[in-house]
Amino acid sequence: MFTLLIALLSLQRVVELAICRRNRAKLRARGGIEYGQGHYPAMVAIHVGFYASLILEYHFVSRGWDPFWPFWLAVLVGAELLRVWVMASLGPYWSTRIVLVPGARLVATGPYRFIRHPNYIVVTLELLSIPMMCGAYVTAVVFSALNLLILRVRIREEEKALAANAPSFIRHPLPRFVPRFPSLSSSPRRRQ
């Protein structure tokens, strides 16, 4: 089962990188500018290291699948569904890199109606749920922490680039990670 999981995740990454490469080329052809290249190799290293650590820990340290693996699988499936929603919402703008086309409108559909960075929630949930499911607890802790550190840099770079290129982003009232849904009542709220 572990081998099938790794094969499916590897196939998914290959497809995502092909989509990223295609979208990045199209964005650059439209005048897109890439930002935050300095931290990108560290992100790649963390993700490659994650899979290496996961495989090594599962084969040499883990006692097998976590007793709560169905819960962790549900978290992973939920994260992957959110990723599909993110990619569909961004369409040709989706990339693993920060590439912005000057004058392009800020995407405010799909999960971006509720939160600024839904794709980073996906990555965070993946880096936690996959190793937890497989009983690779050290990998879960170490790479979740590394992910949070690199996301601090990544989000700062992305928000700086967005603020410079999409003036509406500066006024974007959405939270970074915890979704804010519209009020169910139709009456306006007053400040107190």
H or E stretch at 160: helix 137-165
The pLDDT, as a whole number, for residue 165 is 80
Asked if the model's pLDDT at residue 118 lies above 80, the reply is yes
Provide the mean pLDDT of the chain: 89
According to the model, what pLDDT value does residue 191 have? Answer: 33
- Asked if residue 46 has pLDDT above 70, the reply is yes
pLDDT, one tens digit per residue, over 3-27 is 999 999 999 999 999 999 999 999 9
Q: 116, 127 in Cβ contact below 8 A?
A: no
The full DSSP string for 100-151 is E-TTPPPP-SGGGGT-S-HHHHHHHHHHHHHHHHHT-HHHHHHHHHHHHHHH
Helix, strand or coil, per DSSP, at residue 10: helix
pLDDT for residue 184: 41
Give the pLDDT confidence score for residue 106 in this predicted structure.
84
Of the ranges 144-148, 161-165, 182-186, which is most confident?
144-148
In the predicted structure, residue 150 carries a pLDDT above the cut 90: yes
Q: What is the mean pLDDT of the segment spanning 96-107?
A: 90
Residue 167 has what pLDDT? 66
The mean per-residue pLDDT over the stretch 98-121 comes to 90
Spatial separation of the C-alpha atoms in residues 114 and 134, rounded to whole Å: 32
Q: Is the pLDDT of residue 188 over 50?
A: no
107 vs 142: which has the higher pLDDT: 142
